[in-house]
Amino acid sequence: MKLYYDLHIHSALSPCSDDDMTPNNIVNMALLKGLDVIAVTDHNSCKNLPAIMNLAKQNDLLVVPGMELQTKEEVHVLCLFTTLEDAIKFQDIVYKRLPNMKNNPELFGNQLIFNEEDEVEGTEDIMLLNSADIDFDEAFKLVNELKGAFIPCHIDKDTFSVISNLGFVPEYLKINTVEVANANKYEKYIAAGIIRKKYKVIKNSDSHFLGKISERENFIYVKSKTIEAVLEELR
């Protein structure tokens, strides 16, 4: 079956995201745009997933639990998991490896934690826009141990991408899927020999604002409308 997706959305837990990126707003905008499956992947944290996943269940919207990890090399990676519990396990590992630095909301933005009513239940004190002390290879290993999908983000961008920071996508790692921002630039990387392996390619919004959430245009074919089937296609 065909599922229309956006697997890279930020909530207001990410300090660089708009404060209007609340659980209800994200779920309702995804429904308005006709999406079947989304992933809310905040920087280095999963703390808004419980509210978002509970809301989505009530509205026949599939939410894949995950985060956008920033590795030691400042590479961004989508880390997607089968269950919320696995995502939280990964979050616990990441939190132990983040610098002990408090967020400055006036400088970086708010890091808001919501309940299902879009009420602010708290804020995340630790600064989420830092690199965890986890290198790219170890991150791949940790995600795979939890049977998750490890997807390098926006690999064609000039910052925070595996190509901009490492110079290549490590072929010795069994990476199956990559995310691109610009398909034409990705094709140029292939032509130049920067990318030699054939990957599955997905395109997401990387939305930090409601209006930027993807339209009903990007899709994947899966066996069923389940998290397991989506990850089977990506990992």
Q: For the chain, which residues make up each domain, given as ranges?
A: 2-234
CA 132 → CA 21, 58, 155, 194, distances in Å?
Answer: 24, 34, 19, 26
List all residues 6 or more positions away from 233 whose beta carbon is below 8 Å from its beta carbon.
200, 220, 221, 222
The answer to whether 169 and 152 have CB atoms below 8 angstroms apart is: yes
- Three-state DSSP class for residue 122: strand
Find the distance separating the first CA and the last CA of the chain, reported in whole Å: 18
The answer to whether 153 and 8 have CB atoms below 8 angstroms apart is: yes
Per-residue pLDDT of the chain (235 residues; tens, 9 = 90+): 999 999 999 999 999 999 999 999 999 999 999 999 999 999 999 999 999 999 999 999 999 999 999 999 999 999 999 999 999 999 999 999 999 999 999 999 999 999 999 999 999 999 999 999 999 999 999 999 999 999 999 998 889 999 899 888 898 999 999 999 887 777 777 777 777 778 899 999 999 999 999 999 999 999 999 999 999 999 9
pTM score, two decimals?
A: 0.95
Fold observed for domain 2-234: TIM Barrel (3.20.20)
Within 10 angstroms of residue 132's Cβ, the number of other Cβ atoms is 19
Which tokens sit at 64?
A: 């894949």
DSSP letter assigned to residue 6: E
